[in-house]
Chains A and B, each alone.
Chain A
Amino acid sequence: MTDVKPVLHLENIVKIFPGVRALDGVSFAVMPGEVHALMGENGAGKSTLMKVLGGIYQPDDGDIYVGEQKVTMSGPLEAKAKGIVFIHQELSLAEELSVAENIYLGELPRKSFGRVDWTKLAERTNAILKKLNVGFDARTRVGDLSIANQQMVEIARALTVDAKAVIFDEPTASLTDAEKVVLFEVIADLQADGVGIIYISHRMEEIFKITDRISILRDGQYQGTVVTADTNEESVTQMMIGRKLDLSRNASHHEIGNVALEVRGLSCGKLYKDVSFEVRRGEVVGFYGLVGAGRTEIAETLFGLRDPSAGQILLDGQEVRIHSPADAIARGISLVPEDRKGQGLVLGMNCRDNMTLPQVEDLKAGPFVAEGAEIAIFDQYRDRLDIRTPGWKQKVGNLSGGNQQKIVIGKWLSMHPSVLIVDEPTRGIDVGSKSEIHKLLRALAAQGYAVMVISSEMPEVLHVSDRIVAMYSGRIMRTFTSEEVTEDSLIQAISGLGDNQAA
């Protein structure tokens, strides 16, 4: 590879935000026809680096080379014109517009008078869609597509220009296995054309399947580049977090109590159908499936945010109807929501006020809020959950993701629930804090809470759960015990390939 020039080369990139060196001397190069993984914990600087590359941020120091030419990126269009294409992780689509308009967003083909050349647009788009082998056409409205298909639209953007380098940012987060195969074919095609590919993902199995080399960032610093074939998951993780991580299966089993929550034949329109399961005290039940499998919707139903169209919910053997979150809380159900910052916390409020939010009505001294009682509650759960904050006055928005999540968990524990539902507990939380949250969830179960964990990360579900419910497209495919579950059988079940309901 020595005489081949890299298609894209970053040299000593430095980016400083007030108070933080977000990127500190990062260098790496992508060869033509190479799939180059970029890894690092959240906050390690991957997205900042990509924004620098896309011209959204200007670096404070360092150079970017495309081919042999030194370039200054002034914006996404310029990056694209130079052959650098981004496939964004968060869907960056305009839902009301057609597939074709989205794929060519920002550079619709023109005729005279600034008119859009619809014929050309449809032709080009359909050619790309044919390559991707998808079941929709150029004129479909993007809002009518499934999340996975929307992701395919996003991916189609990579094929619109003569790309030199394509950056995929977590492209498989919402794809089924069949769609992943198509994506990997697309990547292989690009590779064969000599395109350099930067592949950002947290999923080790993908990284080791398709990438050639791996570059690792930690705290904005470049940790090195390794050849994928010469390394393994453990050493990559070690480079990412600077220490070893305990990823062993959960071994500690403790006393399982009686059934706290039982759901029988619950359905909610098209979102999920005929779902039945039970959660016992002292047990962690993991819900695993793809995005859109209906897991979050079940949690929302149990928390009174959606009305089920059929079925029963039983708490401690008693059938209940839950009409609102207030109902759910009163009956001892708590939900730690998926979107911590959007749904779980009021970021501009301090730690104490966030924690006592659901019970501030009850904590009154006459007509006023009872400051002392609130602080007492905060102190109790800060110690119990080991929340690291300078004090209760700290704004929640300034805490790290792991500590924010602990505040949300503490908030619900202080309401003395019997059922704790946790939706994506470690999304956006770095690897180190992840294992703390996992330990916490196990410990809570040991204390007699019935815990439901919804997660899209297989290691997490495998690690924390006593039983795992695998969901596909709104249905429970199979329920595994922690002894019988294997990664293969789990993947099969959530892809809709597994046997019918067993055990």
Chain B
Amino acid sequence: MLQPGKLSKALKSGAIWGFIVLELLFFSIAGEFMSLSDKAFMDFENMLLLLKQSAPIGIIAMGMTIVMINGNIDLSVGAIFAIAAIILLDSMSWPIFAGLGDWVIPVAWLLALAGGTLLGALNGLIVWKTGVDAFIVTLGSMLGFRGIVFMFNGENPTSQLNWTLVDFAEAEFLGLATASWFLLIVTLAIWFLMTKTVHGRNAYAIGDNREAAVNAGIRVGPHMMINFSIIGFLAALSAVVFYSESGSVNPNDGQLYELWVITAVVLGGTKITGGAGSVIGTFGGVIAIQLLRKGLGHIGADTSTVNLVMGLILIAVLFLDRQLNIKGKEELKI
């Protein structure tokens, strides 16, 4: 028997998957009439490609899920993404690593990941020690980090093509691309972190009722800093996965990533105010966004249309969420 309240809960947790099915149906049918290519939309190859293309946003979205559940937000992920990419590509040509041959690749990876983690930790440290709202802190670091990107090489792209690296990035294992594997592994790891570990559960508690967490002796600051470090690490990992393949980074790369990432997380059901959300939901959100971008492209819409539709859907989803959360007509009107 469904109790009242259960239904809306079931609707909410399943909503994102229902939405994905809807998208698949819509684009398959609309594609029959409007697509320029004669390939079906729901082609297996196409879906695998979609998973691969979801990876850059998806990997960061997992980090954003933790940070948002924790009651914070991180707007600087796009800029961290670009900085990590530059570290990755530029460090491979540094003279001190000249003797390493292809062993420069893991070194460059480590440098990029360490850089991202440090920048994330810096965000966390500032939020912790100053008590300034994470929105403001990361808004500042978004501008600041992007400034560093431009200081490095002006408007010029930073390029470094290493064929061993490209081979690795383009490799497939059990039918899945390297990037897809990274996305799946990160999803699994963060899911484990948030549902099984004390750190994850404390993050929920802090986002839900910070005062209660403080009263219970949970050290709020360090938890937040760890979570910011994780999102920094994941933003860098996303860059590592993506630029290992492309080998060239523009100083504008990663711009608006934060917004796509937040959109995916919110679509996936994470509360903006913190305390509730799930990694699996975010995974659904990421897939839904990518489907929409790809699907609209499939039926011949251009990027601006995609953005417009995406924005409308985001607002519609939040409105629906609010409607489902209202307990009845007797709700207080504010």
Contact = CB atoms under 8 A, between A and B. Distances in A.
Contacts of A300: 332
A106 B217 contact: yes
Interface in B255-277: 275-276
B211 interface: yes
Interface string A300-311: 100011111100
A108 B198 contact: yes
B329 interface: yes
Nearest to B276: A96
B197 A94 contact: no
Interface residues of B, number: 29
Interface residues on A, range: 35 or more
Given A95-B209, A97-B205, A115-B197, A77 B217 contact: yes
A76 B201 contact: no
A92 B333 contact: no
Contact of B212 (A105, A269, A308, A324): A105
B55 to A, nearest CB: 26
B217 A94 contact: no
A106 B329 contact: no
A269 B331 CA distance: 9
A92 B211 contact: yes
B204 A88 contact: no
A106 B331 contact: no
Nearest to A90: B211
Interface string A277-309: 000000000000000000001001000111111
Contacts of A357: none
Nearest to A81: B217
B126 interface: no
Contact of A93 (B198, B199, B209): B209
Contacts of A95: 208-209, 275
Residue picked from A76, A88, A94, A96, most chain B C-beta under 10 Å: A94
Interface string B319-334: 0000000011111111
A171 B217 CA distance: 20
A106 to B, nearest CB: 3
A272 B218 CA distance: 39
B201 A86 contact: no
Nearest to B334: A305
B166 interface: no
Interface in B269-291: 275-276
A306 B211 contact: no
A300 B217 CA distance: 37
A294 B246 CA distance: 63
Interface in B40-67: none
Nearest to B195: A116
Contacts of A268: 330
Contacts of B216: 76-77, 92, 105-107
Given A95-B209, A269-B330, A307-B329, A88 B196 contact: no
A297 B327 CA distance: 14
B213 A105 contact: yes
B315 interface: no
Interface string B299-334: 000000000000000000000000000011111111
A391 B209 CA distance: 38
A72 to B, nearest CB: 15
Contacts of B213: 94, 105-106
B214 interface: yes
A415 B49 CA distance: 67
Nearest to B196: A115
A309 B329 CA distance: 8
A114 B212 contact: no
A25 B111 CA distance: 57
B328 A269 contact: yes
Contacts of B198: 108, 110, 114-116
B205 A306 contact: no
B328 A116 contact: no
A97 B196 CA distance: 13
Given A94-B275, A115-B197, A116-B197, A324 B333 contact: yes
A304 B331 CA distance: 11
Interface in B204-235: 204-205, 208-209, 211-218
A115 B193 CA distance: 8
B201 A306 contact: no
A114 B209 contact: no
A305 B217 contact: no
Contacts of B218: 105-106
B237 to A, nearest CB: 20
A60 B299 CA distance: 71
Given A75-B217, A76-B215, A116-B198, A97 B332 contact: no
Contacts of A122: none
A307 B208 contact: no
Residue picked from B201, B215, B275, B276, most chain A C-beta under 10 Å: B215
Given A93-B209, A97-B201, A115-B198, A107 B217 contact: yes
Contacts of A304: 333
Contact of B330 (A54, A113, A144, A306): A306
Contacts of B196: 115-116
Contacts of B202: 106, 108
Contacts of B5: 144
A209 interface: no
A309 B209 CA distance: 32
Interface string A120-155: 000000000000000000000000100000000000
Contacts of A92: 209, 211-212, 215-216
Contacts of B209: 92-95
A101 interface: yes
A78 B211 CA distance: 17
Interface string B240-256: 00000000000000000
A475 interface: no
Interface string A216-239: 000000000000000000000000
Given A94-B204, A305-B334, 4 more contacts: A92-B209, A94-B208, A116-B198, A306-B332
The 10 A-B pairs with the shortest beta carbon distances in the complex, nearest first, are: A77-B217, A106-B216, A269-B330, A94-B208, A105-B216, A92-B212, A76-B217, A268-B330, A106-B217, A94-B205
15 contacts: A54-B215, A76-B217, A77-B216, A92-B212, A92-B216, A94-B205, A94-B275, A95-B209, A115-B196, A115-B198, A116-B198, A116-B201, A270-B330, A307-B330, A307-B333
Interface of A: 54, 75-78, 80, 86, 88, 92-97, 101-102, 105-108, 110, 113-116, 144, 268-271, 297, 300, 304-309, 324
